[in-house]
């Protein structure tokens, strides 16, 4: 049952990254690429009917984490307390920026909330990427100092950064050069993803500028991805051992490579949905590669005193996991019905939705 719920959790997080990821990317596009009111409205119209529903997947993933892996939930939410508070505030400002922008028709008011929406989206993409970097790098479980745990083996606490910004230091911070690198990969990835969504759901003049921009950003993304894999070997030696041990797992890097390479043909695509499909493949393939390389660990330990947290030593009791399956099936069916209705109602271009206008 632990494996079943782990797959459920990973799939739900993957869905969240795909859906709310294009919201973050659209916010970055809104901040840096949209130049006129018509272009800014095209961006907000493209995500307006979807963004709040997309965030439900984050809440639902937290619920599954709390239910199925309570020890991991307790450890992660205490250890990552500071960045989680920042993420909460950025989520609030992004939502408030979208909702309040059209309440008062004053240029200063509108620009302030548009900027808040864009900056919050950018910071969320950066912080979620850095969070993934922290999981990949591992944490000092038990807060070991001089070979002795100072807290219980499953707990830790991270400051925002350590003075050296060194991921190999005994005392870690949320921010170091490795986590920032992955954060930048996340920002570029979601910018491309959001731009592809805007192209898919709008007919704005902005689309003509986004396609060459995606091509250029994808070049930078490809360079950072190669650099990340090389440095990953330095931070965590032999990170792809699981993939070499189980050849079928190479399907995930193959999916990621397909998505990344496909973006280089963005200017030749005749159908607007092709770019979004390839950016989705890259996100899913990258997430799958990361999860497969870490399995069965869910939070690696960087010391030799306390073991890593795995899906087996952080899971709830078998009875609880078994009973939860029935409720999960019911909830899943309701969510599927809801999203089918939502995407049918808001299919096609959304230039005339008029989201946020009052």
Is beta strand 148-149 parallel, antiparallel or unpaired with respect to 144-145?
antiparallel
* 286: its two tokens: 């990258």
DSSP assignment letter at 308:
P
In total, the chain counts a number of residues equal to: 358
d(CA 168, CA 350): 48
Closest C-alpha to 160, from 204, 186, 126: 126
Closest C-alpha to 126, from 169, 78, 93, 83: 83
d(CA 59, CA 61): 5
Q: Using CA atoms in the order 28, 10, 302, 308, what is the torsion angle rounded to 10 degrees? A: 160
First to last CA, the chain: 49
Q: Which residues contact 194 (CB under 8 A, 6 or more apart)?
A: 21, 22, 23, 24, 25, 26, 27, 28, 29
Residue 357 has a pLDDT of: 61
Q: Where are the beta strands (DSSP E) in the chain?
A: 144-145, 148-149, 159-161, 173-175, 297-299, 309-310
Residue 158 has a pLDDT of: 86
Report the SS3 class of residue 306: coil
Model confidence pTM above 0.85: yes
Cβ proximity of 55 and 156 under 8 Å? no
Helix (H) or strand (E) holding 293: helix 273-294
Instruction: Quick: pLDDT tens for 266-293.
Output: 888 888 889 999 999 999 999 999 999 9
| Cis preceding-peptide flag for 4 (omega within 30 of 0) | no
φ, ψ (nearest 5 deg) of residue 309: -85, 125
Residue 299, beta-bridge partner list: 309
Ranges of the chain whose pLDDT falls below 70: 354-358
Helices (H) and strands (E) in the chain, counts: 12, 6
How large is the C-alpha radius of gyration of the chain? Answer: 21
Exposure of 133 by Cβ count < 10 A (0-12 exposed, 13-18 middle, 19+ buried)? buried
Instruction: Quick: pLDDT tens for 201-227.
Output: 888 888 889 999 999 999 999 999 999
Residue 355 has a pLDDT of: 64
DSSP assignment letter at 145:
E
* 32: its two tokens: 């840096």
Rounded (10°) angle between helices 206-235 and 251-262: 150
Q: How far is CA 145 from CA 6, 148, 150, 246, 306, in A?
A: 31, 5, 7, 36, 12
φ, ψ (nearest 5 deg) of residue 139: -130, 165
């Amino acid at each position: 049952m632990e494996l079943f719920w782990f797959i459920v959790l990973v799939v739900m997080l993957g869905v969240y990254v795909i859906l709310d990821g294009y919201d973050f990317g659209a916010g970055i596009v809104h901040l840096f690429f949209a130049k006129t009111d018509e272009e800014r409205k095209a961006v907000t119209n493209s995500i307006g009917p979807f963004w709040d529903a997309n965030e439900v997947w984050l809440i639902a993933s937290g619920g599954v984490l709390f239910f199925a892996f309570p020890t991991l939930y307790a450890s992660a939410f205490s250890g990552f307390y500071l960045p989680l508070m920042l993420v909460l505030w950025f989520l609030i400002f992004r939502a408030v920026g979208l909702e309040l922008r059209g309440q008062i028709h004053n240029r200063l008011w509108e620009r302030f909330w548009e900027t808040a929406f864009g900056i919050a989206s950018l910071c969320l993409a950066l912080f979620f990427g850095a969070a993934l970097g922290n999981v990949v790098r591992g944490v000092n479980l038990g807060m070991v100092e001089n070979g002795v745990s100072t807290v219980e083996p499953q707990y830790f606490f991270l400051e925002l950064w350590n003075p050296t910004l060194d991921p190999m230091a005994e005392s870690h911070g949320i921010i170091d050069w490795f986590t920032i690198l992955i954060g930048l990969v996340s920002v570029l990835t979601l910018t491309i993803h959001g731009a592809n969504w805007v192209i898919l759901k709008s007919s704005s003049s902005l689309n003509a500028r986004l396609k060459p921009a995606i091509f250029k950003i994808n070049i930078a993304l490809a360079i950072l991805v190669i650099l990340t894999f090389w440095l990953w070997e330095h931070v965590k030696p032999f990170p792809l051992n699981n993939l070499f041990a189980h050849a079928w797992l190479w399907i995930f890097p193959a999916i990621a490579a397909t998505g990344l390479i496909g973006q280089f043909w963005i200017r030749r695509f005749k159908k607007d949905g092709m770019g979004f499909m390839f950016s989705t493949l890259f996100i899913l393939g990258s997430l799958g590669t990361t999860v497969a390389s870490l399995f069965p660990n869910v939070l690696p330990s960087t010391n030799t005193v306390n073991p890593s947290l795995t899906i087996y030593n952080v899971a709830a009791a078998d009875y609880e996991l078994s009973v939860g399956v029935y409720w999960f099936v019911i909830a899943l069916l309701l969510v599927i019905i809801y999203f089918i209705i939502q995407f049918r109602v808001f299919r096609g271009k959304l230039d005339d939705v008029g989201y946020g206008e009052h």
